[in-house]
Amino acid sequence: MRTKHTFSTMFWQQTTRAVNNEAGIYLRITVDGKRLNVSLKRRIPIDLWDAKSKKAKGASAKAKQINQYLDEVKNKVFQIYQELKYRDQLITAQIIKAKFTGEDEQSKTLLELMAYHSKKIENSLAAGSIRNFGVTENYIKKFMVEHKKTKDVYLKQLDFQFLIDFENYLSNVWPVGHPRAMSQNTTMKHLQRLRKMITLAYHLEWIDRDPFVRWKPVYEKKVRDYLSETELAQLEDFDFNNDRLDRVRDLFIFSCYTGISYIDIMNLTRDNVVKGLDGGNWIITRRQKTKSSVKVPLLEKAENIIQKYESHPMTEISSSLLPLITNEKLNVYLKEVASHVGIRKNLTFHMARHTFATTVTLSNGVPIETVSKLLGHTKIATTQIYARVLETKVSKDMEFLKEKLKRKSSQPEKLSRKI
């Protein structure tokens, strides 16, 4: 890279575009013989400008103000040149102009960041996750227009106050079609997505500081519903006398005994059922949400459901392992299922994963590390959201402890004596 450059600046007035005897002041930047003009967005009377000395004439307050501003501009441009030179970076008149006007790569805007992030995730995240980021972006845009009175901001303008103001804005949003204002946890999710975008900008060196450094998310603890052993048995044994509800019940029960999510069940084919190391059938697939591997040994009740639909017209046509149905319809029909069976819980398909983690596995002594692996989680902390220790499990464990302590106390003490 060239190490020596010629560099100069000068000011001039463009009198050919004068209006009411006033004309704009320009800065000319010249690097290695190539020059570029920059408008300073200042207009002064033509008779106040000294074309020879390249500054305002006289000692009036207005002339002093103009000349002081010109000195500041000159110093700023020279500092930009010196910094580029010190860092041994490419030096051109265009680069100096971009840094002076704030149009360089270090002055990206929030809208530019969101566009870049959307492009980055379009082939790496699931459709649902991409859709959620889109919802967050729309809220950010509305917030800037309604509360910041602007359509965009520079990333370097983002600060802690921007985050707090956005958080307050979201907490008062009443989403269309929702019975109440946005919950605390939903608000935190939107801020979490904004944080991921800002972190990307920080790693790209589009910003020098992370405004989220002092921000801490505050989540409300929610009780995750699941079916008890009795409710699960009631659901399994109920005779619906209705093919539609029967299929919905089977899909839910299959998830209760495998822990596989809705979208991953819909993606299963017969090729996903393979012989495992133990000689039994396993389902081996990959989670669409996280791309992590899932390997689940099939329990008898799950295997019975697969066999039930092995030659079913719906699976024959689609080549799927189980009947296909949209998530929206599935959750609507589950409300009917719950009503028929007498389950007074808001039955959703995701509740099946909680039932698998809590009722089927953990309450029967399966270690949480194994449950985490079966669910396809990458962190135990994620599994702990699903799992809870049931009172029956606590009772069983304490009974075991009581018996153990009882046996110990009934054994005669052995005294060791020195002979």
pLDDT at 415: 46
pLDDT at 232: 96
Q: Does residue 16 lie within any of the structural domains? A: yes
Binned at pLDDT 50, 70 and 90, residue 416 comes out as very low
Hey, what's the torsion of the CAs at 12, 13, 15, 17, to 10 degrees? 110
What percent of the chain is predicted at pLDDT more than 90?
57
Binned at pLDDT 50, 70 and 90, residue 110 comes out as very high
Give the span between the Cα atoms of 356 and 368, in whole angstroms.
12
Q: What is the mean pLDDT of residues 92-99?
A: 86
Residues 31 and 64 in one domain: yes
Q: What is the mean pLDDT of residues 226-243?
A: 93
Residues 362 and 294 in one domain: yes
Asked whether the beta carbons of 264 and 253 are under 8 A apart, the reply is: no
Give the span between the Cα atoms of 91 and 262, in whole angstroms.
56
Least confident piece of the model among 132-141, 293-302, 370-379: 370-379
What percent of the chain is predicted at pLDDT more than 70?
93
Encoded tokens for 179 = 């019975």
Residues 253 and 373 in one domain: yes
Binned at pLDDT 50, 70 and 90, residue 56 comes out as very high
* List of residues 6+ apart from 232 with CB closer than 8 A: 253, 256, 355, 359, 360
pLDDT at 391: 58
Residues 128 and 235 in one domain: no
Residues 88 and 175 in one domain: no
Residues 112 and 251 in one domain: no
Number of domains in the chain: 3
pLDDT over threshold 90, residue 76 = yes
Residues 61 and 101 in one domain: yes
Q: Does residue 260 lie within any of the structural domains? A: yes
pLDDT at 389: 55
Q: Does residue 224 lie within any of the structural domains? A: no
Q: What is the mean pLDDT of residues 286-298?
A: 86
Phi, psi of 41 (to 5 degrees): 60, 30
Q: What is the mean pLDDT of residues 359-366?
A: 88
Residues 199 and 246 in one domain: no
Query: Which structural domain range is residue 27 located in?
Result: 7-106
pTM for the structure as a whole: 0.62
Residues 122 and 19 in one domain: no
pLDDT at 379: 82
Binned at pLDDT 50, 70 and 90, residue 418 comes out as very low
Q: Does residue 54 lie within any of the structural domains? A: yes
